[in-house]
Amino acid sequence: MSNAGWKMKRFWKEAGYSPAEGGYAIRLDGRPVKTPAKAPLVVPAEALARAICDEWQAQGEEIDPHAMPCTRSANAAIDKVMPNRAAVAWMLADYADTDLTCYRADAPKELRARQDAAWDPLLDWLASRHGARLEPRTGIVPIPQEDAAIERLTEAVDALGPWPLTALHDLVTLSGSLVIGLAALDRHLPPEELWRCARMDEDWQAEQWGEDEIAQRESEAKRADFLHAARFLELLAAP
């Protein structure tokens, strides 16, 4: 359904929050905010509540939903992930069997060297942190990983609550890698570095052939979404 030509006007003066069951309720001029599915917008961390209020307070006369990433993620956690937590966890765990970091180029050797240098340490970290050893493959033909490794990673993802799982969903789907998503969740490496790991192949192609304007815009949008998901995790964990 298209809303082309329709813009929502600002209707409040002050955005704030107050303690509520389950965390902090977002309020506009004292009135509770609802999600698109009409659930109360209540978040589990005060830092996240402040960030959401800052987004609402920063809006001009016309509301720009694209400038409200924390609000969008909170809505997704409540409306989409909470009622489908097990299915979302299963979908993300399934990435492990065809993880980006496991599929290496057979040529050129320079690209393969970059992949090995960036991705082998991530696989070593995964084995140490989660007791799950994923093995690299050469080429693009899917080869299943060991069942024991998949089971351990499935257990790790399934243990997450809906809020971190919401962030992990974006980290994994944007990067194509459960390994990279879990590394971001664990703060193993800075988000920018993890995003570069995820873009290894695309950056190589751009170096060789250049990158058109549309592809560059799409890449920047994905990068911004990835970094936001990492920040969403930080806000959830902030005191």
Q: What is the CATH number of the domain that holds 24?
A: 3.30.2180.10
For 190, the domain range is: 84-237
Are 13 and 30 in contact, with CB atoms under 8 Å apart? no
The pLDDT value given to residue 129: 98
Report the b/e string of 57-89 with b at 16+ CB within 10 A: eebeeeeeeeebbbbbbbbbbbbbbbeebeebb
Residue 7 lies in a domain: no
> Contact at 8 Å (CB) between 54 and 126?
no
Tell me how far apart the alpha carbons of residues 114 and 177 are, in angstroms, rounded to a whole number: 17
CATH code for position 127: 1.10.3580.10
pLDDT tens profile 83-95: 999 999 999 999 9
Same domain, 88 and 180: yes
Whether 230 and 168 map to the same domain: the answer is yes
- Res 2: pLDDT: 32
pLDDT digits (tens, 9 = 90+) for 171-203: 999 999 999 999 999 999 999 999 999 999 999
pLDDT value of position 88: 98
| pLDDT recorded at residue 7 | 64
53 and 126 in a single domain? The answer is no
**In this predicted structure, what is the pLDDT of residue 184?**
98
Q: Are strands 103-104 and 137-138 parallel, antiparallel or unpaired?
A: parallel
Residue 76, in any domain of the structure: no
Task: Going from the first residue of the chain to its last (239 residues), give the mean pLDDT of each consecutive group of 10, the final group possibly shorter.
Answer: 55 96 97 97 98 97 94 98 97 96 95 97 98 95 94 97 98 98 98 97 91 89 98 94
User: What is the number of structural domains in the chain?
Assistant: 2
Give pLDDT, residue 197. 98
Q: Which token pair is 31?
A: 């009135």
Rounded to whole angstroms, the Cα distance separating 81 from 77 reads: 5
Q: Would 95 be classed as within a structural domain?
A: yes
